Structure formats: structure tokens, C-alpha cells
Amino acid sequence: MCVYCASSTGTDPVLAETAVALGHLLADQGLELVYGGGSVGLMGLVADAVLERGGEVTGIIPLVLMPTEVAHRGVTRLLDVDSMHSRKAKMIELSDAFIALPGGFGTLEELAEVLTWAQLGIHAKPIGLLNVGGFYDGLLAFFDRAIADGVLKPTNRELLLDRSDPLDLLDALRRYHPSYEPKWVDLDRRA
């Protein structure tokens, strides 16, 4: 399970509590964690929670971020890569499913890329958004607007499963059945 999330804990303690709860669930269900390799923030909390329960953790971190993201030296495997692009590609390659916890630009970028790859049919792996305390309500409203304005197909919106509870999200990811539909809304209207 790949988890994208913040390298800070944020100001709402529920974010940290949820990261720990998710980590415990992953380990308890025998799911290996693949993540960005940091020891700080929500990244560090979810990794520590998996390790605390005896689970496996693979961290993937670009060499340039080793000092700034404080690489987690206690994970099962820590892979260093040459770039952010390589990091994302390796995370996708090693993972069977994806979850985005709250985060900032980096989390959003990782989520957008894995969604885009699913939309293009490059992979058919389940993708989930853990909408803790309504953190992602604005993003979900953006997707609704994109559908209403005809720039996102409802079937492609369904590529992203969103739940507020970690166990509910893991269950939804397990039940996911991929369906691919070309992303283009209306091929006849192309210029």
C-alpha cells in the first residue's frame, strides 16, 4: 500500500491520530507500506505505526531530500533514487494500491499523477483519499465542478475512492473493480 502524505503533522491532532491508525491497520492486515521515506510529519508517524506493529516498510527518497526530509533509518528498506520523478515511478511500481492522507503540494502532485495514470489506462490499481475531518472537501468539490463543466467524466471521477475512516477506505480499496474509459470527454469536438 502506497501512502502519500505530509512531511509535517499539521495543527489538527486528528491528522496525526489518523496517520497512526492507518499505519496500525496496514500492519495488522499484513499490508506493506510504501511511502516517501521520511521520519518526520505524517510520513514518519504512519511508518512508525506500521513498524510498531511488526509490519514491513519501504521508504523511497531522492538523494537530494535525504537531509531535508530526515530519511527514516529504521524502515525495513530505504531506497534512494535520483529524482522526484524516479521516486514517484518507483512508488507506483512497488504498490498495489494508493492512499492519500492530508498533505500539501507534494501529496497533491503524487495523487494527481497516480490518478492521471489510471485515467489513461497505464495502471488499474485502486486509489483512495482519506478525507480526515473534511480536509479534502474542497478538492472533491473541484472534481464535482469539473464534471459539471464537462472536463472530467463521472466514470473517471470514480477512479478516486474517498472515505473519512481508514478501515472503511481499506475495505473500499479491496472491493474496487477497475473500469477503463478513455479520458476524452468528446472526441468529436476536438479542434
Helix (H) or strand (E) holding 4: strand 2-4
Does 141 map to a domain?
A: no
Q: pLDDT tens, 70-94?
A: 889 999 999 999 999 999 999 999 9
Does 58 map to a domain?
A: yes
pTM score of the predicted model: 0.91
What CATH number does residue 158 fall under? 3.40.50.450
Report how many domains make up the chain. Answer: 1
Burial 117-126 (b: 16+ CB within 10 A, else e): bbbeeebebb
Does 191 map to a domain?
A: no
Q: Give the per-residue pLDDT at 52.
A: 98
Please list the residues that pair with 161 across neighbouring strands. 128
Q: pLDDT tens, 130-173?
A: 999 999 999 999 999 999 999 999 999 999 999 999 999 999 99
Does 181 map to a domain?
A: no
CA distance 142 to 138: 6
Phi, psi (rounded to 5 degrees) for 95? -110, 150
Does 98 map to a domain?
A: yes
Domain membership of residue 16 as a residue range: 2-136+148-175
Does 142 map to a domain?
A: no
